[in-house]
Chain A
Amino acid sequence: MTSSPSSALSLRNLHKHFDAGRPGLLRRDDRLVHAVDGVDLDLGRGEILALVGESGCGKSTLALTLLGLERPTSGEMYFEGTDVARLRGAALKDMHKRIQMVFQDPYESLNPMMTIEEIVEEPLIVHRSFPTSDQRRARVIQALEDAGLKPADSFLDRLPHQLSGGQRQRVVIAASLVLDPTILLADEPVSMLDVSIRAEILNLLADLRARQGISILFITHDFGTVAHFADRIAVMYLGRIVEIGRTEEVLRAPRHPYTKALLSVVPVPNPRLRQKRTILQGETPNPIDLPTGCRFHPRCPIAEDRCRLTDPPAVTLSPSHSAACLLIENDK
């Protein structure tokens, strides 16, 4: 398989496995945690792609692998059409500048002792991007304004605790924008925030894409958050993408039983529209002992005998929509 040149990022059969034994101890355990287990995914240029799935399904591990903080166990990764395994030296450093991450918690991801200017300037110093402090300051001010913190100079000397939650998350975003990335990996950037601040940050991200053409991989466990602004949605279960499609396709006509269950539990903000919920009991099973056959079969409400035997391939439902469930072929 090759990557499409229109993609900002492409993954082919990507795996990331960890040792199940605790680090530092004598390894009594040679089993593996299959955190990312065969992911194919393309992030288009200027696209907002939502990656949705329960806690522990491998979303953050996937993001850390894309960021270069974790080494893939196997598989291929292409950055703007180039195989990342072949990148060396300056080209590799440039890629690391172009892919930036926004972390979940605006209360924990900012150093309380540093001023806003120092926080946003730090990546510039690390990457030696601008030689003089005047140039750096101009860039910091631009990034703060791009993140909607205006007038930017009134924020430079402040400390994180002097800002509201929404402003802090904007600082986190400004620090990720300062290196002029083409790809943002946003890992649950709003789940700790109030509804109205949440709307503010989501609108900001949509605006950044519109104005600067940034591609965004938006990681969340909540469909509600992404429905309004993602172009496509990818649903992840136990290290695999089980369904992917344009936002309307996935929301209106979900085909994988896991997607259907997840959608059924999204709280609807109207008591007249309370729906029948398919609550899957327990939590995502342990990625150490993967179930045989379809990895979803132990929790699947419609599983049949064959689901225990065959690992379902992705079935193409439309040029943009596919899902990996054995029972889909039935109703074709």
Chain B
Amino acid sequence: MTTPTTSAPLLAVRDLSIDFITPDRPPAHAVSRVSFTLQPGEAMGLVGESGCGKTTLSLALLRLLPPQGRIVNGSVQFNGRELLALAEPEMADIRWRHMAMIFQGAMNALNPVVTVGSQIGEAIHRHYPFMSPPEVAARVAELLDMVGILGARADQYPHQYSGGMRQRAMIAMALACSPEIVIADEPTTALDVMIQAQILDLLDNLRRHLGLAVIFVTHDLGVVAELCDKVLVMYGGVTAEYADVDTIYNSPRHPYTQELLKAFPDLSKPQAALNSIPGYPPRPDALPTGCRFHPRCPLVFDRCRTDQPALLSVSPVWSSQQSSGYAGTANSKRSGEVRPTHLASCHLVENDK
């Protein structure tokens, strides 16, 4: 583990834009100018409805986009190193060893004819070829123990595991080389609530005890509220809103965030009617003009249809001063003087200035 300095974040993503190129079709702008930073031990929730670009953004951080995907702009710095400038072999060294991903739907991605233990062992061997077989076996047992699977189960095949155990085995595999960052893409969607709680608890412990930084991709706002410090709400490939978790849930400024929260069932208010957001997120090859949310926005006004709103800092109620416009440069928990960053891309934010 590297020790953090307050100035250089573990991960700094700036203005990242990704297109999908299909022959004879206009490029699809799946992600446009997304920025954020991540400190060691920090957990950021990446939320938004299906098709908003969450997986695309995650894959781009590891440079694992499918062939049609192009990073057309921006920078991704890991510990000060520009990942987008690295040659592929150097990038391969960063992947898994420093930054690992748990893929969406991964629990079905285990090889059915190889034991779970050998699959994890293979991942270790790839990055640490000098480790002896007994050392690898010991590490496999340690990893399985960490995710709450009995070491003796290493010799079993994936079909002998339940869905929740397979998902935890995938987490063990992502942790095999002790990375500093784990990107978890919908790791608990479709799992039982109790197993989901077990997995969240596991990630939270790793973060607290090993300083693991986590990017948690999900459409489940409840899970984000339980686990994360920061939240980036994506809509149609852009940042709708970015703030610390308390601000997102208690004083959201983007109408999309507000609507998403109203659509999420809340046990503490069982009488409240559930709100759905009529319509669907835009396709990246047919983005609306102006604000990407305007066709569904309950607060839409004329300007929204023509001008794309900039990502602006929201003035905190207790201060008239503006914080830096760059996501994540300020960190509320670590230094008392700097105000938490709160950014939103909506014309209404600009209006109140």
Contact = CB atoms under 8 A, between A and B. Distances in A.
Contacts of A227: 265-267, 270
Interface stretch (B9-17, B171-179, B188-196, B313-321): B188-196
B276 A199 contact: yes
A197 B276 contact: yes
Nearest to A164: B280
A194 B265 contact: no
A192 interface: yes
B249 A198 contact: no
Contacts of B270: 227-228, 247-248, 251
B11 to A, nearest CB: 22
A196 interface: yes
Contacts of B275: 199
Interface in B330-348: none
12 contacts: A54-B193, A54-B194, A56-B162, A194-B50, A198-B263, A221-B194, A261-B194, A267-B223, A269-B264, A271-B249, A277-B201, A283-B192
B193 A262 contact: yes
A84 B181 CA distance: 58
A88 B222 CA distance: 48
Interface residues of B, number: 47
B246 A263 contact: no
**Could you say which interface size class chain A belongs to?**
35 or more
**5 A-B pairs closest in CB distance:** A267-B222, A265-B197, A199-B276, A200-B276, A199-B274
Contacts of A266: 193, 222, 267
A136 to B, nearest CB: 30
Nearest to B244: A271
B265 A225 contact: yes
B225 interface: yes
Nearest to B202: A279
B221 interface: yes
Interface string B242-263: 0001100110000000011101
Interface string A182-226: 000000000110111111101100000000000000000111110
A56 B194 CA distance: 12
A268 B267 CA distance: 7
B226 A195 contact: no
Nearest to B201: A279
A195 B221 CA distance: 8
Interface string B269-310: 011111111001000000000000000000000000000000
Given A192-B190, A268-B267, A224 B222 contact: yes
Interface of A: 54-56, 164-166, 191-192, 194-200, 202-203, 221-225, 227-229, 247-248, 251, 261-263, 265-274, 277, 279-281, 283
Nearest to A197: B276
Given A192-B190, A262-B193, A269 B198 contact: no
A260 to B, nearest CB: 12
B197 A274 contact: no
A272 B223 CA distance: 13
A272 B250 CA distance: 9
A55 B225 contact: no
Contacts of A277: 197, 201
B276 A228 contact: no
B193 A265 contact: yes
A269 B263 contact: no
A228 B265 contact: yes
A265 B265 contact: no
B273 A269 contact: no
A224 B267 contact: yes
B163 interface: yes
B219 A194 contact: yes
B74 interface: no
Contacts of B223: 267
Contact of B194 (A196, A198, A225, A279): A279
B350 interface: no
A9 B260 CA distance: 36
Contact of A283 (B195, B220, B221, B250): B195
Given A224-B265, A228-B272, A262-B193, 6 more contacts: A55-B164, A195-B260, A223-B193, A224-B266, A270-B268, A283-B194
B151 interface: no
Contacts of B226: 267-268, 271, 274
A268 B250 CA distance: 13
Q: Which of A56, A166, A196 has the most CB of B within 10 A?
A: A196
Contacts of B265: 199, 224-225, 227-228
Nearest to A57: B192
Contact of B50 (A165, A203, A273): A165
Contacts of A197: 49, 276
B260 A54 contact: no
Given A195-B220, A195-B260, A268-B267, A228 B273 contact: yes
Contacts of B273: 203, 228
A29 to B, nearest CB: 16
Given A269-B249, A283-B195, A196 B49 contact: yes
Contacts of A279: 194, 197-198, 201
Contact of B49 (A195, A228, A268): A195
B221 A269 contact: yes
Contacts of A265: 193-194, 196-197
Interface string B224-251: 0110000000000000000001100110
Contacts of B261: 269
B162 A283 contact: yes
Contacts of B195: 54-55, 283
A251 B267 CA distance: 8
Nearest to B164: A283
B225 A196 contact: no
Contacts of B266: 224, 227, 268-270
Contacts of A229: 274
A262 to B, nearest CB: 7
A166 B259 CA distance: 17
A267 B220 contact: yes
B148 interface: yes
